[in-house]
């Protein structure tokens, strides 16, 4: 009984970390009206959190091994609550971005620590497998219900409420954790290479800034130079990992084709899902004129299919195998994304249902495939890379695909402001200019959906050719 109570306590922070990766997708039109962020600031509000989580997951996993998982889990949860409160009351876009980055830093402490604590709680292999399955389903469900929860809150409260809902869960966990959880430490060789942590995080942030700024404002010497610096830092990071005795990321694992396909499958679907969910939120509200509650309700069928698929996939995989499941997930996502092209409410719902089937498959089989592709002694490193790939996929989807949509809008729109939200806020805006701006936004959404669908179809073919039967 104590073990299952511990699982229940751990699921709270896990749900928060995954929900906060997607909860702003329907909230961004409201935040844009209230805080008037620039185009690149809006993208940073969305994915600064994901960049922070993804770049620090492995580092905090190693720190938890050394200093105690429960201790890090408690500190991280408290910091997550404090950063959430700061985000809720941020007076401008810059401070909201800073608060989101702090939320990401705190969130990076929670996932690896929570999973390690669960492994300690459940000594029976069967119970442990069931608990980890519930853990994975909760994480996937958080991504799926995040936009819906945000929409429901915004129907009654101000935009900061999407962050304040974190606080009751934080308080309950801090009260329950010392009672139902035990401290966990693991003795691993080596420590955390601080230089690797700094260079990876700085490289990702600089490269992301360059992509966003160039898409929104055009080419400029300063952002391009920062982007080049970011790429150089990331290249140096990769080279350093190959020289370290105990690297932050073991890139040698990518020599295995099955492992490589699994990691890309963890990254690309989340990139496509986060970008299209964010853009579709703007489409439903700013183009079709739907209320935020109606937009949230339209996302329910896709979320239900995604969650149900996560639950039944382990049983399905026993019959069809992981290879077939991976292939199906890519072609289902590609088909779902293509259903966004015609436009309209019905096609949107159909898209979320079909793509939700693929997303659910990918969420459920990626970690198992990655871990199963490597020797047992390297399973921990493989699992950490899989988690990192998921989080970076969420951030890169907004950074790359979101920037592509911004670029299309800048080239196709009325050239009055860099985003649809900023254009529609202009005083005295002519009806023809408003329609032109909306049409450019829809074109951007369609371009992103088509490109993401093409990438998934290509990866499906690659999986078909690369993975052994």
- Give the per-residue pLDDT at 107: 84
Q: Is residue 9 located within the same domain as residue 135?
A: yes
Nearest to 281 by CA among 151, 407, 174: 151
Domain-terminating residue out of 152, 169, 190: 190
Domain-terminating residue out of 247, 267, 285: 247
Domain-terminating residue out of 171, 190, 209: 190
- Give the per-residue pLDDT at 150: 83
- Give the per-residue pLDDT at 346: 92
Q: Is residue 90 located within the same domain as residue 227?
A: no
- Give the per-residue pLDDT at 84: 92
Q: Is residue 33 located within the same domain as residue 73?
A: yes
**CA 293, 299, 303 angle in degrees (round to 5)?**
135
105: tokens are 């830093």
Q: Are 6 and 117 in contact (CB under 8 A)?
A: yes
Q: Is residue 302 located within the same domain as residue 419?
A: yes
Q: Is residue 201 located within the same domain as residue 265?
A: no
Q: Is residue 148 located within the same domain as residue 232?
A: no
- Quote the domain boundaries for residue 229: 193-247
How many whole angstroms separate alpha carbon 423 and alpha carbon 41?
Answer: 15
104: tokens are 């990401």
Rg of the chain in Å (alpha carbons)? 21
Q: Is residue 22 located within the same domain as residue 41?
A: yes
- Give the per-residue pLDDT at 128: 67
Nearest to 48 by CA among 433, 398, 453: 398
How many whole angstroms separate alpha carbon 453 and alpha carbon 354?
Answer: 12
Query: Could you tell me how many helices (H) and strands (E) the chain has, helices first?
Result: 19, 0
Q: Where are the alpha helices (DSSP H) in 321-430?
A: 322-338, 345-372, 379-396, 403-412, 420-424
Q: Which residues of 440-450 are buried (b: 16+ CB within 10 A; e: fewer)?
A: bbbbbbbbbbe
- Give the per-residue pLDDT at 66: 65
- Give the per-residue pLDDT at 441: 93
Q: Is residue 202 located within the same domain as residue 140?
A: no
- Give the per-residue pLDDT at 425: 81
Q: Is residue 295 located within the same domain as residue 401?
A: yes
Q: Is residue 305 located within the same domain as residue 163?
A: no
The CATH code of the domain that includes 104 is 1.20.1250.20
In the chain, which stretches have pLDDT less than 50?
none
- Give the per-residue pLDDT at 185: 57
Q: Are 84 and 170 in contact (CB under 8 A)?
A: yes
């Amino acid at each position: 009984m104590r073990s299952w109570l511990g699982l229940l306590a751990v699921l709270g922070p896990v749900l928060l970390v995954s929900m906060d990766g997607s909860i702003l997708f329907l909230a961004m039109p409201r935040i844009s009206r209230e805080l008037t962020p620039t185009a690149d600031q809006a993208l940073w509000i969305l994915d600064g959190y994901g960049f922070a989580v993804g770049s620090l997951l492995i580092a905090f996993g190693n720190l938890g091994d050394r200093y105690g998982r429960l201790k890090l889990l408690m500190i991280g949860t408290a910091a997550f609550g404090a950063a959430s409160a700061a985000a809720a009351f941020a007076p401008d876009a810059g401070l909201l971005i800073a608060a989101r980055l702090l939320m990401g830093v705190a969130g990076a402490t929670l996932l690896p620590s929570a999973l390690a604590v669960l492994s300690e709680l459940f000594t029976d292999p069967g119970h442990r497998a069931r608990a980890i399955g519930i853990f994975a389903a909760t994480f996937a469900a958080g991504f799926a219900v995040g936009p819906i929860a945000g929409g429901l809150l915004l129907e009654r409260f101000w935009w900061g409420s999407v962050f304040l809902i974190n606080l009751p869960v934080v308080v309950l966990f801090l009260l329950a954790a010392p009672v139902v959880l035990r401290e966990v430490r693991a003795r691993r060789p080596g420590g955390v290479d601080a230089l690797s942590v700094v260079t990876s995080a700085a490289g990702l942030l600089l490269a992301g800034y360059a992509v966003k700024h160039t898409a929104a404002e055009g080419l400029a010497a300063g952002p391009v130079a920062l982007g080049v610096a970011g790429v150089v830092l990331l290249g140096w990071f990769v080279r350093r990992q190959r020289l370290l005795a105990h690297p932050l990321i073991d890139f040698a694992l990518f020599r295995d084709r099955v492992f490589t396909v699994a990691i890309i499958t963890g990254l690309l679907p989340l990139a496509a899902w986060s970008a299209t969910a964010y853009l579709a939120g703007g489409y439903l509200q700013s183009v079709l004129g739907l209320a935020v509650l109606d937009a949230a309700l339209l996302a329910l069928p896709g979320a239900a299919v995604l969650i149900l698929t996560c639950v039944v996939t382990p049983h399905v995989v026993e019959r069809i195998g992981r290879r077939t499941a991976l292939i199906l997930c890519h072609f289902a996502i590609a088909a779902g994304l293509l259903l966004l092209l015609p436009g309209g409410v019905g096609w949107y719902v159909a898209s979320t249902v079909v793509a939700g089937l693929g997303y659910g498959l990918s969420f459920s089989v990626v970690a198992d495939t990655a871990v199963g592709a490597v020797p047992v002694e390297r399973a921990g490193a493989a699992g950490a890379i899989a988690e990192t790939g998921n989080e970076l996929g969420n951030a890169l989807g907004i950074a790359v695909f979101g920037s592509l949509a911004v670029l299309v809008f800048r080239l196709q729109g009325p050239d009055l402001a860099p985003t649809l939200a900023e254009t529609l806020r202009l005083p005295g805006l002519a009806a023809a200019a408003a329609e032109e701006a909306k049409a450019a936004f829809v074109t951007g959404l369609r371009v992103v959906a088509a490109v993401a669908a093409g990438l998934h179809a290509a990866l499906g073919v690659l999986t078909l050719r690369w993975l052994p039967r």
